[in-house]
């Protein structure tokens, strides 16, 4: 088997230990030569790096080297795969993304509404700089990006790197949802083949085929008439994720048609979401007290014991999805993944240039989207509105345009009112200070 060099950008991410664990579990499918962790936060990354040393020494000793670096110029030479999960501004800035809109009675979510706008404006500069450096050092490497807000990142990278066929933007929410569906159906997720359309965090399942070719989505819809479907992922076992999944039942029953992604709740029921949110304690606070704390205490335990023996490293669909995608590329497998790609007629009645999220066949030379065809008026209207918001957000970034920013926020379904959009925007400018481009 050909050995590959992998760089993880956001080496200190809360998701990196689980991703490393997945790489260990998949070593018969992906053989790693050299592994690099790159992060701007040295202390944070060193913790994860120490964990990697113990884990690999114990369970994957054929890996030639593991290197941690904060020097971008050392991170990407001779790399085959770059896996990206950065959070510009960290969880501390995520608090503002969530709390500023909520202080105006508007949905406060890291990727949806003004929160996603705020996070996007912060992320793009960092993100584009990293991709430019990657391409300088390793023009042929595959870049698999998870960093949010993925919809905004995907729209910007399409504009900045229009001919880059090896830059892939993905999200694990559709498969996180499929995992929960597969649990209900008693069929393993990998035996289910989804049909799905939309934008990132803004899409719908139309079918879910099993290996015999039967569509099992009607069973899911029937189930949702009487019962809630809960997340199966360990990473989504807390109350706020359970609540999010519970809302799937109402969303599916209120409208005839496809089954929505859980993220649609923020756009379809914004009033309810705001009412149920605590503007002083949001998801960022929960993640700091939950996932982040758990991951770094797990690392301490591993370091203390100098072994991973008996210590649970919670991995799940997140890492599996990335590594499955890598192996589909390496082994030219033509497997199906839901990925963000330029529409170009895949969804017939949407703009050609929109970055849509649809099932694609992945092999060693291409990402080939499956045709969706035309979609119904309700979905078309929602998506066109949301895509216009995404485009204007990226326009605001590139043109330093206050006007485009105001238009973006006014268009967003979670805001609508222009005065409200203006107040939120002004507060976000203050909160983000010089981490945003200056808007004129």
CB closer to ligand NAD, 39 vs 155? 39
Q: Give the residue at shortest CB distance from ligand G6P.
A: 173
CB closer to ligand G6P, 243 vs 305? 243
CB closer to ligand NAD, 173 vs 313? 173
Query: Quick check: 148 binds ligand G6P (CB under 6 A)?
Result: yes
What does the per-residue mask of binding to ligand NAD show for 44-73, with x meaning CB under 6 A? x-----------------------------
Query: Quick check: 179 binds ligand NAD (CB under 6 A)?
Result: no
Residues composing the chain: 440
Binds 137: which of Mn ion, ligand NAD, ligand G6P, none (CB < 5-8 Å by kind): none
Query: Quick check: 173 binds Mn ion (CB under 5 A)?
Result: yes
* Interface residue with ligand G6P, options 216, 283, 391, 407 (CB under 6 A): 283
CB closer to ligand NAD, 91 vs 420? 91
Q: How far is CA 199 from CA 154, 266, 326, 423, in A?
A: 10, 14, 22, 27
Query: Under rule CB under 6 A, how many of the chain's residues touch ligand NAD?
Result: 26
Interface segment toward ligand NAD; rule CB under 6 A; list 99-107, 170-178, 271-279, 326-334: 170-178
Residue 291, marked binder: no
Query: Quick check: 189 binds ligand NAD (CB under 6 A)?
Result: no
Interface segment toward ligand NAD; rule CB under 6 A; list 36-44, 212-220, 337-345, 377-385: 36-44
* Interface residue with ligand NAD, options 318, 325, 329, 392 (CB under 6 A): 318
Q: How far is CA 370 from CA 64, 193, 362, in A?
A: 39, 12, 11
d(CA 293, CA 233): 18
Q: Which of 119, 263, 267, 321 is catalytic?
A: 263
Pull the structure tokens for residue 120.
């996007």
**Residues with Cβ within 8 Å of residue 403, at least 6 apart in sequence:** none
The dihedral sign for the CA sequence 32, 38, 44, 46: positive
Query: Quick check: 172 binds ligand G6P (CB under 6 A)?
Result: yes
Pull the structure tokens for residue 328.
């589909």
Pull the structure tokens for residue 278.
């605590």
The dihedral sign for the CA sequence 54, 56, 58, 62: negative
CB closer to ligand G6P, 22 vs 138? 22
Pull the structure tokens for residue 335.
């497997």
Of 245, 273, 283, nearest in space to 261 by CA: 245
Query: Quick check: 287 binds ligand G6P (CB under 6 A)?
Result: yes
* Interface residue with Mn ion, options 171, 178, 295, 415 (CB under 5 A): 171
Query: Quick check: 95 binds ligand NAD (CB under 6 A)?
Result: no
**Residues with Cβ within 8 Å of residue 106, at least 6 apart in sequence:** 113, 114, 270, 274, 414, 415, 420, 424
193 near 167, Cβ under 8 Å? no
**Residues with Cβ within 8 Å of residue 293, at least 6 apart in sequence:** none
Phi, psi of 438 (to 5 degrees): -75, 125
CB closer to ligand NAD, 329 vs 421? 329
What is the residue whose two structure tokens read 């592994």?
Answer: 35
Shortest separation between residue 197's beta carbon and Mn ion, angstroms = 16
The dihedral sign for the CA sequence 46, 144, 152, 204: negative
Shortest separation between residue 221's beta carbon and Mn ion, angstroms = 23
10 near 39, Cβ under 8 Å? yes
Residue 280, marked binder: no
Binding to ligand G6P in span 4-63, by CB under 6 A: none
Strands (E), 23-165: 31-38, 65-69, 81-84, 142-145
- Residue 254 annotated among the catalytic residues of the structure: no
Neighbours of 400 (CB within 10 A): 13
* Interface residue with ligand G6P, options 101, 116, 176, 316 (CB under 6 A): 176
* Interface residue with ligand G6P, options 171, 199, 259, 350 (CB under 6 A): 171
322 near 22, Cβ under 8 Å? yes
d(CA 65, CA 56): 10
Interface segment toward ligand NAD; rule CB under 6 A; list 136-144, 146-154, 371-379, 422-430: 146-154
CB closer to Mn ion, 49 vs 108? 108
- Residue 28 annotated among the catalytic residues of the structure: no
* Interface residue with ligand NAD, options 67, 90, 363, 420 (CB under 6 A): 90
Binding-site residue set for substrate: 94, 148, 283
- Supply the residues annotated as catalytic: 172, 263
Which spans of this chain sit near ligand NAD (rule: CB under 6 A)?
Answer: 9-10, 12-15, 38-41, 44, 85-88, 90-91, 126, 146-148, 150, 171-173, 318
List residues binding ligand G6P (CB under 6 A): 111, 148, 171-173, 176, 283, 287
Annotated binding site for Mn(2+): 171, 201
């Amino acid at each position: 088997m050909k050995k590959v060099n992998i760089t993880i950008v956001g080496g200190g991410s809360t998701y990196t230990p689980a991703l490393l664990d997945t790489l260990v579990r998949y070593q018969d499918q992906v053989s790693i030569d050299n592994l690099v962790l790159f992060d701007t936060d040295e202390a944070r990354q060193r913790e994860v790096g120490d964990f990697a040393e113990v884990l690999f020494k114990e369970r994957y000793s054929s890996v030639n080297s593991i290197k941690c670096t904060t020097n971008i110029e050392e991170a990407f030479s001779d790399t085959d795969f770059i896996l990206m999960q950065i959070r510009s501004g960290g969880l501390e800035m995520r608090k503002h993304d969530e709390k500023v809109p909520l202080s105006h009675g508007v949905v406060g979510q890291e990727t949806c509404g003004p929160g996603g706008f705020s996070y996007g404006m912060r992320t793009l500069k960092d993100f584009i700089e990293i991709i430019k450096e990657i391409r300088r050092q390793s023009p042929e490497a595959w870049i698999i990006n998870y960093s949010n807000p993925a919809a905004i990142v995907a729209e910007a990278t399409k504009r900045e790197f229009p001919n880059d066929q090896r830059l892939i933007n993905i999200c694990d929410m559709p498969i996180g949802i499929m995992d929960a569906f597969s649990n209900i159906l008693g069929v393993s997720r990998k035996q289910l083949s989804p049909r799905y359309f939309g934008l990132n965090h803004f899409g719908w399942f139309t079918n879910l085929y099993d290996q015999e070719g039967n569509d099992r989505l009607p069973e899911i819809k029937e189930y949702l008439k009487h019962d809630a479907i809960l997340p199966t992922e360990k990473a989504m076992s807390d109350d706020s994720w359970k609540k999010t999944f519970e809302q799937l039942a109402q969303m599916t029953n209120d409208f005839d048609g496809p089954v929505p992604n859980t993220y649609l709740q923020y756009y379809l029921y914004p009033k309810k979401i705001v009412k149920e949110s605590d503007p002083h304690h949001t998801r960022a606070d929960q993640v700091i007290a939950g996932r982040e704390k758990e991951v770094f205490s797990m690392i301490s335990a591993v370091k203390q014991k100098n072994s991973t023996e008996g210590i649970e490293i919670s991995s799940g669909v997140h890492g599996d999805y990335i590594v499955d995608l890598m192996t589909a590329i390496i082994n030219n497998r033509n497997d199906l993944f839901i990925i963000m790609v330029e529409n170009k007629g895949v969804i017939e009645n949407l703009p050609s240039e929109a970055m849509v999220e649809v099932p694609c066949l992945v092999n060693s030379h291409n990402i080939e989207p499956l045709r969706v065809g035309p979609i119904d008026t309700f979905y078309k209207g929602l998506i066109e509105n949301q895509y216009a918001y995404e485009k204007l957000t990226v326009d605001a970034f590139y043109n330093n345009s206050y006007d485009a920013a105001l238009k973006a926020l006014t268009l967003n379904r979670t805001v609508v009112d222009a005065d409200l959009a203006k107040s939120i925007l002004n507060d976000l400018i203050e909160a983000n200070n010089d981490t945003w481009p200056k808007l004129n």
